[in-house]
Amino acid sequence: MSSAPETGNTVPNPVIPGFHPDPSVCRVGEDYYLACSSFEYFPGVPLFHSRDLVHWTLIGNALDRPSQLRLLPGTASSKGIYAPTLRHHDGRFWLITTNVSDGGNLLFHTEDPAGPWSEPVPLPGVKGIDPDLAWDEDGTCWCTTAGVEQVRIDPYTGETFGPPHRIWSGTPGAKAPEAPHLYRIGAYWYLLIAEGGTERCHGVSIARGRTPDGPFEPCPANPVLTHRGTDLPVQNTGHGDLVQGPDGSWWMVLLGVRPLGGTPGWHVLGRETFLAPVSWVDDWPVVGEVAPAMPAPPWPLVPAAPAPVRDDFDLPELAPHWISLRDRPAGSCTTGGDPGRLTLRARGASPDATDVTFVGRRQQHLSCRARTLVDPSEGTGGLTVRLDESHHYDIEVASGEVRAIARIGPLRTVVATRPLPAGPQVLRVETAATPVPADARSGPDTLVLGVEETDGTFAELARLDGRYLSTEVAGGFTGRVIGMYAATGTVRFDWFDYEPLDEPVG
């Protein structure tokens, strides 16, 4: 899942590109495991495995059953599942997260991170978001949440002991102290938090104390990480989590974005997972550079198997990188009823609807191409690049016609149409990232929508500015997802392929 080729002694950063925010990591022996937020998408909380902190393989989604993850049709985009913490303790993996749309804070456990994970343990006495877990020497489990508040819990039952209490408020004047993580390292307990908001002022600060519940003294060099006020190519750096390698070295996984275009800069892939080295000076962490290329860790790299370009939908279940909106009823989405095809049965009438039948994957490259072979003989559907219900570009086929559609805020426009012969059609979307912009008004990328002719030539229908599918325009916490949908009737897809294209230089 690397975003660029490795060269010499450097490796690409982000280590998990695309919409993979709020990373939390733990190590068991020589194996690393990492979880991310998933918001309104189902299944929820993607889980990755690595042997080197650089190459990550998606091994599943922790919340893959409706009984674990309730996202009702009215769940707004950028609601749902926030900021998991992943830990290993006493032979078991623990995952705690917040469903801000239903149920509040929930805890899950398993002996195998690839699943299945347990049913949720509700935590009614734990308030706030971004919950963390830490165990002290006598086995007491401490849960710390944004704010920053803390309470002792029984992780098996969800029982809390005593009321939550404030343990640190972060840097005076800095907004949104959140994403707390508590660690015992050497003689101290360290409390790592994000603050400043998850936009351009995001940062990471830390405090330490002699006991897990404080009192805590802040690091005199806070924030220990921020790119605020810089022109560095990676921005919004924050929401970090620390992990120690088998050789004793320390590392931080964190989120960041890669803005493109002119002013103010637009990021379109969402918040991505980056890696940074950490050293220690006077018992305080010093975080190294967060850049698109970073020095390789001091151990052998273990490349992951490359993700296949094409999915022919030959398996009885969808691969774990496929996600849907809020739920995925068997009656509306299947690969088993018509082997070798993905069959989608419409619910919502278009990608404008919160209950549209949709199967997509995260866009992970600034420049890429996505294609699908669609049979619209029994319905209307196509290919969409989605940020939310109010911000998406579609290439849609129905009744002998293909049309390019742009939804930008309150406006929905059919940009172009073209007649088509009957039968299956290959739909195509390409994104081309903008090189160094010619002026301050340049957008981040261009999206080209069209259809492939029977002789293999490409018929372009629309060429659209990518800024309108960016977080800076749409708001929210997610990134682009590219996928297939059904708007009316039943629509079948024979295959879908996704491949990166050459990125701009300079």
Per-residue model confidence as pLDDT tens digits over 378-388: 999 999 999 99
For residue range 348-378, list pLDDT tens digits in order. 999 999 999 999 999 999 999 999 999 999 9
Which of the four pLDDT bands, split at 50, 70 and 90, describes residue 248?
very high
* The predicted structure's pLDDT at residue 8: 60
Percent with pLDDT over 90 in the chain: 91
Which of the four pLDDT bands, split at 50, 70 and 90, describes residue 309?
very high
With a cut of 60, say whether residue 7 has pLDDT above it. Answer: no
* The predicted structure's pLDDT at residue 156: 97
* The predicted structure's pLDDT at residue 73: 83
More confident position, 217 or 435: 217
With a cut of 90, say whether residue 3 has pLDDT above it. Answer: no
Do 107 and 118 meet the contact criterion of CB atoms below 8 Å apart? no
* The predicted structure's pLDDT at residue 5: 55
CA atoms of 12 and 209, how far apart (whole Å): 35
Instruction: Domains for the chain: give ranges and CATH numbers.
Output: 10-295 (2.115.10.20), 310-500 (2.60.120.200)
Task: Calculate mean pLDDT across residues 104-130.
Answer: 97
For residue range 289-305, list pLDDT tens digits in order. 999 999 999 999 998 88
CA–CA distances in Å: residue 396 to residues 349, 351, 418, 486: 12, 11, 11, 9
For residue 402, the cross-strand partners are 397, 418
Respond yes or no: is residue 352 known to be catalytic.
Answer: no
Task: Calculate mean pLDDT across residues 5-24.
Answer: 89
Choosing from 22, 241, 388, 389, which is the catalytic residue? Answer: 22
DSSP secondary-structure letter at 296? P
* The predicted structure's pLDDT at residue 496: 98
Do 149 and 127 meet the contact criterion of CB atoms below 8 Å apart? yes
More confident position, 6 or 245: 245
DSSP secondary-structure letter at 323? B
Q: How many CB atoms lie within 10 A of CB 455?
A: 5
Q: How much is the mean pLDDT over the chain?
A: 95
Respond yes or no: is residue 30 known to be catalytic.
Answer: no
Radius of gyration of the chain from its Cα atoms, rounded to whole angstroms: 23
For residue range 433-451, list pLDDT tens digits in order. 998 877 899 999 999 999 9
With a cut of 90, say whether residue 116 has pLDDT above it. Answer: yes
Choosing from 52, 132, 178, 375, which is the catalytic residue? Answer: 178
Task: Calculate mean pLDDT across residues 278-293.
Answer: 97
Helix, coil or strand: residue 422 = coil
Q: How many CB atoms lie within 10 A of CB 197?
A: 15
